[in-house]
Amino acid sequence: MTSAPSQPKSSSPSQEDLKAIIAPVQAELAIVEQWLTTNLIDDNPFVGELLAQVFQSGGKRIRVAIALLGSKASLKEGAELGRLNIIQAVLTELIHTASLVHDDVIDASALRRGKETVNKRFNDRLAVLLGDLLFAQASICLARIMNPVVVGIYGQVLGDLCAGEIGQMRSQFVYDVNWERYINKSIAKTASLFAAGSHAGAILNAASNESVQALKDYGVNLGLCFQIVDDLLDVTGSSSELGKEPGSDLRAGVVTAPALFVLERDDEPAKRLRELIKTRQIVNDEGAEEGLKIIRENGGVEATVALATRYAELAKDSLSVIAPSDARDSLVALIDYVLVRTK
Amino acid sequence: MTSAPSQPKSSSPSQEDLKAIIAPVQAELAIVEQWLTTNLIDDNPFVGELLAQVFQSGGKRIRVAIALLGSKASLKEGAELGRLNIIQAVLTELIHTASLVHDDVIDASALRRGKETVNKRFNDRLAVLLGDLLFAQASICLARIMNPVVVGIYGQVLGDLCAGEIGQMRSQFVYDVNWERYINKSIAKTASLFAAGSHAGAILNAASNESVQALKDYGVNLGLCFQIVDDLLDVTGSSSELGKEPGSDLRAGVVTAPALFVLERDDEPAKRLRELIKTRQIVNDEGAEEGLKIIRENGGVEATVALATRYAELAKDSLSVIAPSDARDSLVALIDYVLVRTK
- Tell me whether residue A4 is in a domain: no
- Asked if B162 and A130 come within 8 Å (Cβ–Cβ), the reply is yes
Range of the domain at B261: 15-340
Query: What is the C-alpha separation between B64 and B56, in angstroms, rounded?
Result: 14
Asked whether the beta carbons of residue B162 and residue A102 sit closer than 8 angstroms, the reply is no
Average pLDDT over residues A250-265: 95
Residues of A in contact with B47 (CB under 8 A): 162-163, 166
* Residue-wise pLDDT tens digits, B183-210: 999 999 999 999 999 999 999 999 999 9
Q: Do B129 and A166 touch (CB under 8 A)?
A: yes
Does residue A219 lie in a domain region?
Answer: yes
Please write the tens of the pLDDT for every residue from A313-339: 999 999 999 999 999 999 999 999 999
In a domain, residue B229? The reply is: yes
Min distance B4 CA to chain A CA atoms (Å): 38
Is B97 a member of any domain? Answer: yes
CATH number at residue B328: 1.10.600.10
The pTM of this model reads 0.85
What is the pLDDT, as a whole number, of residue B32? 95
Percentage, residues of chain A above pLDDT 70: 93
Please state the domain count of chain B.
Answer: 1
> Which region among A174-183, A245-254, B49-58 has the lowest average model confidence (pLDDT)?
B49-58
Where is pLDDT greater, at B266 or B322?
A: B322
Mean pLDDT check: name the lowest of A146-155, B15-24, B51-60, B212-221.
Answer: B51-60
Check whether B176 has a pLDDT greater than 70: yes
Measured in angstroms, the CA of A182 and the nearest CA of chain B are apart by 16
Does residue A8 lie within any of the structural domains? no
* Chain A partners within 8 Å of B133 (Cβ): 158-159, 162-163
The pLDDT score that the predictor gives to residue B109 is 80
Residues of A in contact with B136 (CB under 8 A): 135, 155, 158-159, 161-162
**What band does A342 get if pLDDT is binned at 50, 70 and 90?**
low
Per-residue pLDDT of B12-45, as tens digits, reads: 667 788 899 999 999 999 999 988 877 655 567 7
Q: Does A275 fall in a domain? A: yes
pLDDT at residue A136 is higher than 70: yes
- Per the domain annotation, does B8 fall within a domain? no
Q: Is the pLDDT of residue A55 over 70?
A: yes
* pLDDT recorded at residue B56: 79
ipTM over 0.90? The verdict is: no
Chain B positions touching chain A (beta carbons under 8 Å): 40-42, 44, 46-47, 99, 102, 105-106, 124-126, 128-133, 135-140, 142-146, 148, 151, 154-156, 158-159, 161-163, 165-167, 169-170
Q: What is the pLDDT at residue B294? A: 97
Residue A7 lies in a domain: no
